[in-house]
Structure 1
Amino acid sequence: MRILYIDIDTLRAGHLGCAGYHRNTTPNIDALAAEGVRFSNVYASDVPCLPSRTALITGMFGIRNGVANHGGMAADLRPQGAERSFFSGIAANSWASRFYWSGYHTASISSFPFRHSATWWNSGFMESMNLMRGFGGERADQVLPGALRWLNDNAAQEDWFLHVHLWDPHTPYNTPEEYGNPFEDDPAPAWHTEEVRAHNWPLAGPHSAQEPWGFKPDEWGPPPPRHPWNLSNMDEVKQTFDGYDTGIRYADDAVGTLLNMLADHGVLDDTAILVSSDHGEAFGELGVYADHQGADEATCHIPSVLRWPGIEPQVHEGLLYHLDMGATVVDLAGIDIPLGWDGRSVAEDVRTGNHSGRDYLVLSQGAWSVQRGVRWGDHLYLRTWHDGYHAAWNEEMLFDIAADPHETTDLADQSPSVLAEGQDQLLSWTDDQMTRSYSPVDPLKIVLAEGGPFHCKGHLPEYLERLEATDRSDAAAILRQRHPVDPTSTGLSGIPKDVLESLGVDD
């Protein structure tokens, strides 16, 4: 079997045409979906970039493999310990290794291992190629030459697995200016009204409406044309959506180019193709714009389209982790799934059309906030231990995702029985995972013990001044109360004692 995995960074599930989006963002992916399986409810178990791909390649939740952050101890795999054999269990049983041991020629074209010092991504890839120098800032036109060269040399061969990583929807939206704006005449999504913008405008937090670049408008220098200084009006809201969607369309063009190369070699119909992502992107949800900071619907819900020769076109609506997609691809290829994986195959589902899914999912974020979500039925429960300096985030939040997919109305006070259900599921899941973990400590506890999520450390003093200078003193007061000291390096300072105690961390 030939297998092509197209990994489009920061691709939000709802912004594909085949998912009902009103813009023509993904004609090539839509064509694949029409011939294959569109999994409509796939969620990344751990976000953002580093935790998500680490979970995928290891087949294990972050609470077990230890990776939950973008820095500190929880940005590295936990040692396997005394049970580690000549080959580590993680390396020997990685997603790519399953294909390598089965005789496949395995290759990855991605700057991800360089960007995040994630050498473990390479486990099982015979060729691991960082042919770009953008560290995640490269465009599709800079990725394609290496990918096309590899396909030109190998496409006609049997039994290969190729991973191609495209970054175009990731901020900053830097699609070449000459590409234009395919959506200039298309309105922004109807759900993001002026009422939504006005509600979000006074909110605090990195990548908020007044700071969509981080903790201040110019944190990374002057914005490119597709990413405004702030969202002070609806024209700037549209500009933000346009920049993101143009990045998606640019990546989709690259998908078409890769498919054409397979067709040129006469193997397109015989090649399995998976298109998916590492996480989504918020555009106003929980007050976040152009980033991925929660364990919520906007950040964790990702697209997954799988066209597999012999599998009938269908839409699979069951709740699944992205780890389940990895297990499904392995299973469809006739390869055994390791016993230690958390991913479960739904190969039988897509063969028979009798769809099922998980009863509930637990989602984790540790790089921008410290938060876990439980997604089940119509609902999403969020438990927050570090708010990432979003003053409007409550310790517990509850949303009806079916009726309110953009998380505008917190139902925690109105639905105590549903809230309790989410609490119980989170507690049960956490207890179960810790009995199977390589680490004796939940990695989110490590993030808190080191002073909080990587992307927030050191920013609070200056940000409090900015909040007060921009008529957001109330938010500044809340953050001062929650975070008496901003941790700039390591240690427990700045984390409330009751929060630490609730996680079992001693001050």
Structure 2
Amino acid sequence: MRIIYVDVDTLRADHTTPYGYHRPTTPHLQKLADKSVVFDRYYCSDSPCLPSRTALTSGQFGITNGVIGHYGADAQFRLDSGHGPEPDRPLLGQRLQLDGYYTAAVSVFAERHRAYWFHGNFRESVRATGNWGDEDAADVNRAALDWIRRHAEDDDWYLHLTYWDPHTDYTQPAEWTDRMAASAPVQSWPDEETIQEHAEIYGPRSALDLHYSLTGGGGTSPVPHNMPDAIRSRADFEHLINGFDGAIAYWDHHFGRLLATLEELGIADETAIVVSADHGEAFGEHGMYAEHGLATESVQRIPLVVYWPGVTDTLPAEARRNDDLLYNIDLAPTLCDLLGLDVPEGWQGASFADAVRGEETDSRPYLVLGHGAHTYQRAVRTRDHLYIRTYHPGCFRTPWEQLYDVTRDPYLTRDLLDEEPALAGTMRSHLAEWWHEHAGRPGCLPDPMLSNLQAGPVYYADPTRYARHLRDTGRSHLAEDLEQRLAVPRGSVPVPWHAPAPPRSAELFGRWMEIFQERATKKATEGKSVR
């Protein structure tokens, strides 16, 4: 069996055609979905990028594999030195290799996030360009289609492709943005009144700090044709959504070329294709825009379209949708199940291969989801409700606890925490039981989220610098609110729990700028062109 895993960074499910979006963003994905199974309640166990892909390929929650964020102690994959894979918890690619599958990737993910263990999944890893991230779909396709052509007559391979286009900044040509803008109106929420209220929500990627970056500052859009400077009005919001939808449409165009190449080579009916994402994206939910910084529905829910030759293409229409509550850590055991391979005992996901086959399945009663890059949050998702617990807000203004009826309130505008105390208690109990199962028994390692509360998720925004930015922009009352939220309890003992690891973002950025300038100056002196 040939398998292609299409990993689309930041692809929000409800902005795609298979998930009922009112704009024609993904006609080629819909073409694939017509002969696939579409999973409606598929969630990344951990977000954003690094925790999600670590969970996906390790088959384990971040609380177990150690990766719940993007930096320092939050991002340390738990694998000691030694020789060879762990027998009971190999990476997905290592497990496939054990039974003779040739594994390869066209992805810059490992370099972008310093996740070099990711290469352990693959015998061959290709970088489409010299970039460290945000590669254009055309460049990814150039490398991917070349690889597929060279291996078209081979069998038993697994190819992981990472596309970046829906991730900020939206760099696609303006024609794609204009095409989506003309196709249909932008959704009606958030309205003008809500957007004005969001001015009181602070944090990177909030309405007024849409382009506040990890190095500070950043008040103007780097791609003004696709993103506004800030979200001050309904027009700004529509501008942002047009850019996001244009990025998705641009990716889908190139995905169509991938499908066409498989047809041209005569292997389309012999190649399984799985399309998913690492996380979604917030667009006004909780006052966050164009970011994946909270353990909330818009961020944790991701698309999953599975085409399996000889299985899904013959299913009746009613078997092509599945609404079981699923994690992305369930995908690795599912692939093993479909391929007839044993599932490693150390993986924590559960196979949903029966759903791919169109059979009746039983759903979990709830999921526990985590986020650890911009905030420390965990959430409990049942079929109708979402409970969110904040352990550290980072630099974002978010409540310590929240409870929503997602079915009736999809944009999470009405907090039910005080109105539904019994339900809140049940959700807290679910979270506690999950935590005790994975971090509260003999042999468990410490929960990386709770053990790093002293430092917190500060990689993308230093609280001191950001509070100064709030004051400099006339929002002293918000700076005071941030400082109060991050105040250390008087009874806390100020002893470092970890070796100090202050964020080096600005330092590294500055040093690379110096290196690039030195290179440019040297080449100019030598009369050479600058690349």
TM-score under structure 1 length normalisation:
0.91
Residue 244 of structure 2 aligns with an amino acid whose one-letter code is: Y
Measured at CA, do residues 441 and 141 of structure 1 come closer, stay the same or move farther in structure 2, by a change above 3 Å?
Answer: same
Q: 191, 204, 207: which is aligned to 1:206?
A: 204
Q: 417, 426, 429: which is aligned to 1:412?
A: 417
Aligned to 1:492: none
1:186-197 equivalences in 2 (<5 Å): 186-197=184-195
Aligned to 1:374: 380
Tell me, yes or no, if structure 1 residue 128 matches structure 2 residue 125: yes
1:324-363 equivalences in 2 (<5 Å): 324-363=330-369
1:426-441 equivalences in 2 (<5 Å): 426-434=431-439, 440-441=445-446
Measured at CA, do residues 181 and 156 of structure 1 come closer, stay the same or move farther in structure 2, by a change above 3 Å?
Answer: farther
Larger CA deviation: 475-484 vs 20-29: 475-484
Q: 107, 110, 116: which is aligned to 1:119?
A: 116
Q: 457, 463, 467: which is aligned to 1:464?
A: 467
Aligned to 1:487: none
Which consecutive unaligned segments of at least 5 residues does structure 2 have?
A: 499-531
For 2:302 and 2:375, locate their aligned partners in 1 and report how far apart those are by CA, in whole Å: 19
For 1:469 and 1:98, locate their aligned partners in 2 and report how far apart those are by CA, in whole Å: 53
TM-score under structure 2 length normalisation:
0.87
1:151-230 equivalences in 2 (<5 Å): 151-177=148-174, 179=176, 181-185=178-182, 186-214=184-212, 218=218, 222-230=222-230
For 1:387 and 1:251, locate their aligned partners in 2 and report how far apart those are by CA, in whole Å: 33
Check the 8 A contact 1:173/1:224 in 2, yes or no.
no
Which consecutive unaligned segments of at least 5 residues does structure 1 have?
A: 485-494
Task: Give the length in aligned residue pairs.
Answer: 487
The CA deviation string for residues 422-462 of structure 1, in whole angstroms up to 9 with x for no partner, is: 1101111011001579862111023323x11143452x233
Measured at CA, do residues 500 and 337 of structure 1 come closer, stay the same or move farther in structure 2, by a change above 3 Å?
Answer: farther
For residue 90 of structure 1, report the CA deviation from its aligned partner: 7.4
Tell me, yes or no, if structure 1 residue 389 matches structure 2 residue 400: no
Check the 8 A contact 1:362/1:373 in 2, yes or no.
yes
The CA deviation string for residues 81-125 of structure 1, in whole angstroms up to 9 with x for no partner, is: xxx874241796211112211111111110000111112212231
1:442-461 equivalences in 2 (<5 Å): 442-449=447-454, 451-458=455-462, 460-461=463-464
For 2:464 and 2:210, locate their aligned partners in 1 and report how far apart those are by CA, in whole Å: 19
Tell me, yes or no, if structure 1 residue 475 matches structure 2 residue 472: no
**Structure showing greater Rg:** 2
The CA deviation string for residues 261-306 of structure 1, in whole angstroms up to 9 with x for no partner, is: 1111101012111000000000001111000001111110000000
Aligned to 2:262: 262
Check the 8 A contact 1:65/1:437 in 2, yes or no.
no
SS of the residue corresponding to residue 403 of structure 2 reads strand
Aligned to 1:139: 136
Check the 8 A contact 1:28/1:252 in 2, yes or no.
yes
For 1:453 and 1:233, locate their aligned partners in 2 and report how far apart those are by CA, in whole Å: 30
Aligned to 2:527: none
1:218-297 equivalences in 2 (<5 Å): 218=218, 222-297=222-297
Instruction: Using the aligned pairs only, state the percent identity.
Output: 39
Aligned to 2:501: none
Tell me, yes or no, if structure 1 residue 323 matches structure 2 residue 321: no
For 1:109 and 1:144, locate their aligned partners in 2 and report how far apart those are by CA, in whole Å: 9
For 2:89 and 2:430, locate their aligned partners in 1 and report how far apart those are by CA, in whole Å: 32
For residue 131 of structure 1, report the CA deviation from its aligned partner: 2.5
Check the 8 A contact 2:67/2:77 in 1, yes or no.
yes
Measured at CA, do residues 174 and 89 of structure 1 come closer, stay the same or move farther in structure 2, by a change above 3 Å?
Answer: same
Check the 8 A contact 2:58/2:89 in 1, yes or no.
no
For 1:192 and 1:95, locate their aligned partners in 2 and report how far apart those are by CA, in whole Å: 40
Aligned to 1:108: 105
For 2:371 and 2:425, locate their aligned partners in 1 and report how far apart those are by CA, in whole Å: 21
Aligned to 2:49: 49
For residue 141 of structure 1, report the CA deviation from its aligned partner: 1.0
For residue 191 of structure 1, report the CA deviation from its aligned partner: 2.6
For residue 7 of structure 1, report the CA deviation from its aligned partner: 0.4
Aligned to 1:97: 94
For residue 79 of structure 1, report the CA deviation from its aligned partner: 3.6
For residue 418 of structure 1, report the CA deviation from its aligned partner: 0.9
Measured at CA, do residues 132 and 260 of structure 1 come closer, stay the same or move farther in structure 2, by a change above 3 Å?
Answer: same
SS of the residue corresponding to residue 251 of structure 2 reads helix
For 2:372 and 2:492, locate their aligned partners in 1 and report how far apart those are by CA, in whole Å: 15
For 2:242 and 2:87, locate their aligned partners in 1 and report how far apart those are by CA, in whole Å: 40
Check the 8 A contact 2:221/2:228 in 1, yes or no.
no
Aligned to 1:490: none
Check the 8 A contact 2:380/2:386 in 1, yes or no.
yes
Residue 480 of structure 2 aligns with an amino acid whose one-letter code is: A
SS of the residue corresponding to residue 303 of structure 2 reads strand
Aligned to 2:508: none
For residue 198 of structure 1, report the CA deviation from its aligned partner: 2.0
Check the 8 A contact 2:406/2:412 in 1, yes or no.
yes
SS of the residue corresponding to residue 121 of structure 1 reads helix
